[in-house]
Amino acid sequence: MLISVALGQVLSLLICGIGLTSKYLSEDFHANTPVFQSFLNYILLFLVYTTTLAVRQGEENLLAILRRRWWKYMILGLIDLEANYLVVKAYQYTTLTSIQLLDCFVIPVVIFLSWFFLLIRYKAVHFIGIVVCILGMGCMAGADVLVGRHQGAGENKLVGDLLVLGGATLYGISNVWEEYIIRTLSRVEFLGMIGLFGAFFSGIQLAIMEHKELLKVPWDWQIGLLYVGFSACMFGLYSFMPVVIKKTSATSVNLSLLTADLYSLFCGLFLFHYKFSGLYLLSFFTILIGLVLYSSTSTYIAQDPRVYKQFRNPSGPVVDLPTTAQVEPAVTYTSLGQETEEEPHVRVA
């Protein structure tokens, strides 16, 4: 349980690094280049993971993967890119508090998709933990208002709020799809294909929408160092998140990421001279208590082993397993540690 919580906090610290470098780039150097920053991350994923797939042999080779399921990864790459873009864009229209609260919408999206598509079943303690985490997030947003923390322009809140909800929905879809792929296929395949299609789509979007902003950037060694720091944190987040999701779940990871804003705020107390409130500490420990409650017991998956690998074998029928009796749905516990049993191999004609 403690390992699960600790792994999630590592991801939160990486997001804190991403937020700090982005803040310096946009406010101190007026470099508003969210698509270019995503493009750098996708290029790193491409160089490390896509090239790894390219040199593999057999069914795990890049060309073999593209032949079987290229269009699925193309959609996933576009979803991942636009999720990042919509949330960053929302800062121009709505307030910080609105973004913090509405970004929590990713949690019910992940729960809904996990329930219906991954067949994950939750217990009462999981929902209690989720509610406690969201209460902690609300406490943090309230503290921001009380201490008068800068809220942003908020010139068109409706547009900004809709952008946040759209980004949160796409994040939820991406996270659940990621969990499905790394459980049925591999982490390297997921990251390699995200790097390939993410770099392709972000390159097109960069050329169309952001090339003028990129030309305005006052390049020097400080800006270069900030871009390097951002890319390193983003690459670490993408590389490490599948490991944490496989050990826990997409829902657990998104609950853990609620503390990222608090880490950024604690750093801001020293770097940007933010005002402190005891409610921030209350919020932090409330979220941690919710995480402990959620991680204290396992979720489980009720599944029919004959139909769970459709992503792996999109073409061809699924052959019934030889059995003398009716096949009962398998129940596999997943949240804490390794699965208790291996999933039966399914051969396809």
Task: Write down the pTM of the prediction.
Answer: 0.80
Pure H helices in 118-256: 124-147, 157-184, 187-205, 211-216, 221-247, 250-256
Q: Hey, where are the domains in the chain?
A: 35-216+263-302
Task: Give tens-digit pLDDT for 179-215.
Answer: 999 989 899 999 999 999 999 999 999 999 888 888 8
Six-digit token string for 5: 């919580």
Average pLDDT, the chain: 81
What are the Cα distances from residue 8, in Å, to 65, 231, 259?
Answer: 30, 20, 9
Q: Which has more confidence, 323 or 161?
A: 161
pLDDT tens per residue across span 248-297:
888 889 988 888 888 887 887 777 777 777 788 888 899 889 988 988 88
Higher pLDDT, 259 or 50: 50
Average pLDDT (312-321) is 41
CA separation, residue 198 to residues 245, 275, 310 (Å): 20, 38, 24
Query: What pLDDT does residue 341 have?
Result: 40
pLDDT tens, position by position, 146-162: 776 655 555 677 888 88
Higher pLDDT, 143 or 108: 108
Going by C-alpha positions, the residue among 37, 54, 80, 64 that lies closest to residue 197 is 80
Q: In this model, does residue 173 exceed pLDDT 80? A: yes
Res. 63: pLDDT tops 60: yes
* Of 219, 251, 261, the residue nearest 101 (C-alpha): 261
Question: In 149-180, which positions are buried (b, 16+ CB within 10 angstroms) versus exposed (e)?
Answer: beebeeeeeeebbbbbbbbbbbbbbbbbbbbb
pLDDT tens per residue across span 33-46: 889 999 999 999 99
- pLDDT of residue 315 exceeding 60, the answer is no
